[in-house]
């Protein structure tokens, strides 16, 4: 086990940010941490990285309890904050050098490692330029580079793709996948479900300061009970179709939109065949049954939607 | 040490690489010296800038002190009121005169000073001090085997300093007061650097690294202090080379004073940052304090606040002026050393308070 948090409680005056939270991170896995704003994700990361101390509970990293400075343990983790954590007037190379030195990398090893990271993140050509001249995606990449310069065993990324273009996002996700394949343990928080579905082998869903669900994406989507949604499209106008579909057992809503009709039924209704039968008098162009996603699971478990403009960051 | 050096290097480099910082650190002081120094020195000549200092004198009529004060070289510096010892003291306490000199029966002089905040008063007291030393030297010379140098307390050549040496020009005056003011303002560099390197996301990331908070804070403070002091040196050298500002012969003492001002400024700004927890609020409060301190110390223009001068003479700028002017033109050594120690002491006090507040902030 790489990290664990047991019964962690953290209060900020009257507000309880973490309420007996439990978490374990296993060697080599990529763990996704999901939760609505204020769920406690950022506080959990702060406790985990030693930026703040918990009021109760025990945090362990690599078998060592995180007490005091815990310098030896900190050497083995890399942290990518949600907001850019760079010296914007210094060059990309200077930034990497600085964080490398803080982690004890020096001399030729530091120079080689800086070159390697610049290459890995596609920043070699702009190594001498200051990040203030970078695009958002390049800044994000450098932000990650500063966290991996010392080859951490546990990489913690707090919403690393906020506010960047799809190309840069894809670059970062591929990079995270590569790190995971190379054996690095990753803790990844994001508001983008498709990112978590893509890179994470296991997902924790947090709400109100504690974990409410834990499992793989498949396990979570199966565990949650969902409404069933079918959308069908006919060639000509079908004014009588909604009324006949509404009579089918289990149908809760029927929403026509031009020649399309979206039908929502109660969980477990399994009435796709009966809905198609209602539409038989018409020429059916397409039928689509919506597959439940992690987003649906999240909504079902927390009753809330994730938003893009997330928490306050580390 | 690794963390300290890395943080020092990155802080130092980031301050010098920021165009705004470079402007503040180099161009701004040079511009100030250029504009104010040139402008003022053109219409305020060296020998008319001193206002006569109101001074009460309790001395024997026809005696050597009265003769000395009435001499053509000395009389322009004073506006004299001849009276007895008791009234001289009362006039000083009421602020009607800047100082009083009371001659004892044995020929000794007792100088009562309401305040040395005024530059004119410093010059006046310096003159009296020299008179006293000359008297002591004369007495020593009259005594067989008397040690004249010891009686003077300094090198013989310095005894006629106020009369023989150049008086401070407007440029000299403003070079000192502005350099002190600029160095005080450099604490704002510390606010910026410390906010970035400790409180911002960059700082938070650094705090997840395997280095102690002391190394991180120390590196940032050292970077800001060294940068600020170097800035002062730029102005210091520039003023001497280009404008011929006279910095005296006790350069180490002047530099120590400037360094004390930098330390105090950094410490005060750090304290305000820990207190307000917001760079803007801390910077605003620091600027307000620096402005007031500079104003009441005569940094912008020479001004007297009457009885309040007794308090204002301990403003940071005023204490620095006391040491620097004293070291250049001769001043009360005891008071100079007290002011220098106070500047270092205040800096230390604010550092301690900052660390107390910081422990709460980062726990």
pLDDT tens figures, B82-94: 999 889 888 877 7
Does residue A41 have a pLDDT over 50? yes
HEC per residue, chain A: CCEEEEEEEEEECCEEEEEEEEEEECCCCEEEEECCCCCCHHHHHHHHCCCCCCCEEEEEECCEECCCCCHHHHCCEEEECCCCCCCCCCCHHHHHHHHHHHCCCCHHHHHHHHHHHHHHCCCHHHCCCCHHHCCHHHHHHHHHHHHHCCCCCEEEEECCCCCCCHHHHHHHHHHHHHHHHCCCEEEEECCCHHHHHHHCCEEEEEECCEEEEEECHHHHHHHCCCCEEEEEEECCCCCCHHHHHHCCCCEEEEEEECCEEEEEECCCCCCHHHHHHHCCCCCEEEEEECCCCHHHHHHHHHCCCCCCCCCCCC
Contact (CB<8Å) A74/B201: no
Which pLDDT score, from 0 to 100, does residue B204 have?
A: 85
Q: Is the pLDDT of residue B207 over 90?
A: no
Work out the average pLDDT over A156-181: 87
Q: Which residues of B touch A152 (CB under 8 A)?
A: none
List chain A residues with CB under 8 Å of B196.
87
Burial A65-102 (b: 16+ CB within 10 A, else e): ebeeebeebbbbbbbbbbbbbbbbbbbbbbbbbbbbbb
Residue A301 lies in a domain: no
Chain A residues whose CB is inside 8 A of the B195 CB are: none
Q: List A9's β-bridge partners, or say none.
A: A19, A56
Number of domains in chain A: 2
Q: Given a cut of 90, is residue A115 above it in pLDDT?
A: yes
Look at strands A210-215 and A202-207 and give their pairing.
antiparallel
CA–CA distance, B289 with B128 (Å, rounded to integer): 34
- Across the range A172-187, mean pLDDT stands at 90
Please judge whether B208 and A74 are an interchain contact, meaning their C-beta atoms are less than 8 angstroms apart.
yes
Say whether both A153 and A97 belong to one domain.
Answer: yes
pLDDT of A213 over the 60 cut: yes
Does residue A241 form part of some domain? yes
| Rounded Cα gap, residues A301 and A220, in angstroms | 9
Which of A71, A83, A102 lies nearest to residue B206, judging by beta carbons? A102
Is B1's Cβ below 8 Å from some Cβ in A? Answer: no
Q: pLDDT higher for B318 or B26?
A: B318
Per-residue pLDDT of A133-153, as tens digits, reads 888 888 989 999 999 999 999
Dist CA A188 CA A298 (whole Å): 16
Asked if A85 and B204 come within 8 Å (Cβ–Cβ), the reply is yes
Interface test with chain A among B201, B205, B214, B227, by most A beta carbons within 10 Å: B205
Verify that A108 and A231 share a domain, yes or no.
no
Does B210 contact A49 at a Cβ distance shorter than 8 Å? no
pLDDT at residue B228, rounded to an integer? 86
Asked if residue A57 belongs to a domain, the reply is: yes
Establish if A64 belongs to a structural domain: yes
Residue from A85, A91, A106, A314 to probe the interface with B (highest B Cβ count within 10 Å): A85
Contact state of A87 with B196 under an 8 Å Cβ cutoff: yes
Q: What is the CATH number of the domain that holds A240?
A: 3.30.70.100
Res. B341 pLDDT band, cuts 50 70 90: very high
Least confident range of A134-143, A250-259, B64-73, B232-241? B64-73
> Nearest-CA distance from A216 to chain B in Å?
29
| Chain B residues within an 8 Å CB radius of A51 | 204, 207-208
Say which range, A8-12, A282-286, B49-53, has the weakest mean pLDDT. B49-53
Do A242 and A144 share a structural domain?
no
A300 domain residue, yes or no: no
> Could you give the CA distance from residue B97 to residue A7 in angstroms, rounded to a whole number?
74
- Residue A309: predicted pLDDT: 41
Closest listed residue to residue A15, CA positions, set A45, A39, A46: A39
Identify the three-state secondary structure at position A9. Answer: strand
Q: Are B44 and B250 in contact, with CB atoms under 8 Å apart? A: no
Q: Are strands A260-265 and A251-257 parallel, antiparallel or unpaired?
A: antiparallel
**Lookup: tokens for B60:** 């024997």
What is the reported pLDDT for B313?
A: 86
Among B6, B8, B24, B210, the strongest candidate for a mutation testing the A interface, having the largest count of A CBs within 10 A, is: B210
Rounded Cα–Cα distance for residues A48 and A70 (Å):
11
Claim to verify: residue A58 and residue A207 sit in the same structural domain: yes
For residues A184 and A281, state if they share a domain.
Answer: no
**Min CA distance, A167 vs chain B (Å)?**
25
Please indicate, yes or no, whether residues A116 and A55 belong to a single structural domain of this protein: yes
Instruction: Indicate if the pLDDT at residue A312 is higher than 60.
Output: no
The answer for B 8-27 residues in CB contact with A (under 8 A) is 9-10, 13-14, 17-18
Pair (A197, A261) in one structural domain: no
Domain CATH number, residue A181: 3.40.50.300
To the nearest whole Å, the CA of B22 is away from the closest chain A CA by: 12
User: Across the interface, do B196 and A94 touch by the CB < 8 Å criterion?
Assistant: no
Residues A163 and A275 in one domain: no
With a cut of 90, say whether residue B345 has pLDDT above it: yes
Q: Are A234 and A285 in contact (CB under 8 A)?
A: yes
Question: How high is the mean pLDDT of chain A?
Answer: 85
Which of A51, A53, A130 is the closest to B207 by Cβ? Answer: A51
Nearest CA in chain A to B207: A51
Is the pLDDT score of B165 beyond 50?
A: no
Across the range A16-35, mean pLDDT stands at 90
Q: Average the pLDDT over A193-200 and give the result.
A: 86
CB A146 within 8 A of CB A95: yes
Backbone phi, psi, residue A140, to 5°: -60, -40
A305, part of any domain: no
Residues A63 and A116 in one domain: yes
| Residue A149 CB-half CA count within 13 A | 30
Q: What per-residue confidence (pLDDT) applies to B89? A: 84
Question: Are A102 and B6 within 8 A, CB to CB?
Answer: yes
Residue A101 sits in the same domain as residue A215: yes
* Whether residue A189 sits in one domain with residue A240: no
pLDDT in tens, B241-275: 877 777 888 899 999 999 999 999 999 998 998 88
- Domains of chain B, each with CATH number or no CATH: 2-44+168-362 (no CATH), 53-164 (3.40.190)
Strand A228-234 to A284-289 pairing: antiparallel
Residues in chain B closer than 8 A to A84 (CB atoms):
201
Q: What is the band of B150 on the pLDDT scale with cuts at 50, 70, 90?
A: low
CA distances from B151 to A131, A196, B156 (A): 66, 86, 10
**Rounded Cα distance, B36 and B240, in Å:** 15
The percent of residues in chain A predicted with pLDDT above 70, rounded, is 94
With beta carbons less than 8 A apart as the criterion, state whether A56 and A8 touch.
yes
Q: Tens digits of per-residue pLDDT, A215-254?
A: 888 787 776 666 778 888 988 888 888 988 988 888 888 8
Residue A25 has a pLDDT of 92
Q: Which of residues 304-363 of B touch A (CB under 8 A)?
A: 363
Q: Which of A222, A247, A276 is at the close of a domain? A: A222
Cα distance from B12 to chain A (closest Cα, Å)?
11
Six-digit token string for A245 = 């579909």
Between the ranges A96-105, A238-247, A251-260, B141-150, where is the mean pLDDT highest? A96-105
Taking an 8 Å cut-off on Cβ atoms, the answer to whether A147 and B205 are in contact is yes
List residues bridging with A19 in a β-sheet: A9
Which residue from B10, B208, B363 is facing A98, i.e. has the nearest CB? B10
H or E stretch covering B299: none
User: In what helix (H) or strand (E) does residue B304 lie, and over which residues does it extend?
Assistant: none
CA distance B202 to chain A (A): 4
Is residue B99 predicted with pLDDT exceeding 50? yes
Given A193, A222, A251, which residue is the final one in a domain?
A: A222
Which phi and psi (to 5°) does residue A280 adopt? Answer: -55, -35
Domain boundary among A176, A200, A222: A222
Query: Do A76 and A56 belong to one domain?
Result: yes
Q: Test A130 with B17 for CB contact under 8 angstroms.
A: yes
Average pLDDT of the residues in B197-208: 84
Its sign, for the CA torsion A267, A273, A278, A280, is positive
Average pLDDT value for chain B: 77
**Closest CB to A83 among B9, B13, B201:** B201
What confidence score (pLDDT) does residue A191 get?
Answer: 77
* End-to-end Cα spacing for chain B: 22
B-chain residues within 8 Å CB-CB of A146?
205
The answer to whether the CB of A158 falls within 8 A of the CB of A45 is: yes
Q: In the prediction, which pLDDT does A92 show?
A: 93
Residue A309 lies in a domain: no
Residue A164 — pLDDT band, cuts 50, 70, 90?
Answer: confident
Q: In the structure, what pLDDT confidence band is assigned to residue B328 with cuts at 50, 70 and 90? A: confident
Q: Is the pLDDT of residue A257 over 70?
A: yes
* DSSP 8-state assignment for residue A224: S
User: Are the C-beta atoms of residues B351 and B267 closer than 8 Å to each other?
Assistant: yes
- The predicted model gives A260-283 an average pLDDT of 86
Cα-trace Rg, chain B: 23
Within 8 A of B206 by CB-CB distance, chain A residues are 99, 102
Chain A contact set for B207 (CB, 8 A): 51
Domain region containing A272: 227-291
SS3 at position B28: helix
| Residues A223, A297: Cα–Cα separation, whole Å | 8
Residue B209 touches partner A, C-beta closer than 8 Å: yes
Looking at the domain assignment, is residue A20 inside a domain? yes
Quote the ipTM score: 0.72
Interface residues on A facing B, Cβ-Cβ cutoff 8 A: 49-51, 53, 69, 71-75, 77, 79, 81-87, 89-90, 94, 98-99, 101-104, 106, 130, 146-147, 313-314
- Of the candidates B204, B206, B210, which has its C-beta nearest A75's C-beta? B210
Q: What's the confidence (pLDDT) of residue A205?
A: 87
- What's the Cα-to-Cα distance from A187 to each of A41, A174, A200, B198, rounded to whole Å? 11, 15, 9, 24
């Amino acid at each position: 086990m790489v990290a664990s948090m047991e019964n962690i409680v953290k209060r900020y005056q009257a507000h309880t940010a973490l309420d007996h939270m439990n978490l374990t991170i296993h060697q080599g896995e990529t763990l996704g941490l999901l939760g609505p704003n204020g769920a406690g994700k950022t506080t959990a990361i702060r406790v985990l990285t030693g930026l703040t101390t918990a009021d109760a509970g025990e945090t362990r990293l690599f078998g060592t309890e995180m007490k005091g400075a815990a310098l030896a343990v900190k050497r083995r983790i890399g942290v990518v904050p949600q907001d850019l954590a760079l010296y914007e007037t210094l060059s990309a190379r200077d930034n990497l050098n600085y964080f490398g030195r803080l982690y004890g990398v020096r001399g030729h090893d530091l120079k080689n490692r800086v070159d390697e990271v610049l290459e890995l993140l596609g920043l070699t050509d702009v190594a001498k330029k200051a990040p203030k001249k970078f695009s958002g995606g390049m800044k994000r990449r450098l932000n990650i580079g500063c966290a991996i310069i010392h080859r951490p065993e546990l990489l913690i990324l707090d919403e690393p793709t906020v506010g960047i273009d799809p190309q840069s996002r894809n670059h970062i996700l591929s990079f995270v996948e590569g790190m995971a394949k190379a054996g690095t343990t990753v803790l990844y928080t994001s508001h983008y479900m498709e990112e978590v579905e893509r890179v994470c082998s296991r997902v924790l869903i947090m709400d109100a300061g504690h974990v409410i669900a834990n499992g793989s994406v498949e396990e979570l989507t199966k565990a949650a009970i969902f409404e069933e949604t079918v959308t069908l499209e006919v060639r000509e106008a079908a004014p009588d179709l909604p009324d006949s579909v509404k009579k089918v057992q289990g149908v809760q809503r029927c929403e026509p939109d031009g020649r399309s009709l979206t039908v929502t039924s109660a969980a477990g209704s399994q009435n796709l065949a009966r809905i198609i039968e209602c539409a038989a008098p018409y020429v059916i162009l397409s039928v689509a049954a919506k597959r439940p996603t992690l987003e649906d699971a999240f909504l079902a478990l927390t009753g809330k939607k994730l938003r893009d403009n997330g928490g306050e960051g580390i | 040490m690794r963390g300290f050096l890395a943080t020092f290097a990155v802080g130092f480099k980031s301050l010098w690489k920021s165009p705004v910082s470079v402007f503040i650190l180099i161009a701004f002081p040079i511009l100030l010296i250029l504009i104010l120094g040139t402008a003022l020195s053109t219409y305020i000549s060296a020998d008319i800038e001193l206002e006569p200092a109101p001074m009460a004198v309790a001395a024997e009529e026809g005696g050597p002190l009265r003769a000395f004060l009435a001499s053509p070289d000395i009389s322009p510096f004073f506006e004299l009121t001849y009276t007895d010892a008791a009234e001289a003291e009362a006039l000083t306490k009421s602020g009607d005169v800047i100082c009083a000199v009371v001659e004892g029966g044995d020929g000794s002089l007792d100088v009562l000073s309401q305040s040395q905040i005024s530059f004119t008063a410093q010059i006046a007291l310096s003159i009296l001090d020299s008179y006293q030393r000359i008297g002591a030297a004369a007495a020593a010379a009259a005594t067989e085997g008397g040690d004249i140098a010891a009686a003077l307390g300094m090198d013989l050549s310095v005894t006629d300093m106020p009369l023989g040496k150049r008086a401070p020009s407007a440029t000299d005056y403003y070079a000192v007061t502005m350099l002190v003011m600029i160095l005080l303002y450099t604490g704002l560099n510390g606010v910026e650097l410390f906010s970035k390197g400790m409180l911002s996301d960059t700082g938070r990331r650094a705090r997840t690294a395997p280095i102690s908070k002391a190394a991180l804070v120390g590196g940032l403070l050292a970077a800001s202090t060294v940068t600020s002091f170097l800035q002062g040196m730029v102005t210091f050298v520039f003023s001497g080379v280009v404008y011929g500002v006279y910095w005296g012969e006790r350069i180490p003492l002047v530099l120590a004073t400037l360094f004390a001002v930098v330390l105090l400024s950094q410490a005060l700004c750090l304290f305000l940052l820990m207190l307000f927890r917001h760079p803007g609020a801390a910077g605003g409060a620091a600027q307000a304090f620096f402005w007031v301190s500079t104003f009441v110390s005569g940094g912008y223009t020479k001004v007297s606040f009457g009885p309040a001068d007794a308090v204002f003479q301990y403003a940071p700028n005023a204490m620095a002026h006391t040491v620097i002017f004293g070291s250049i033109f001769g001043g009360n050594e005891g008071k100079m050393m007290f002011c220098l120690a106070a500047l270092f002491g205040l800096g230390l006090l604010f550092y301690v308070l900052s660390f107390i507040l910081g422990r709460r902030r980062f726990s």
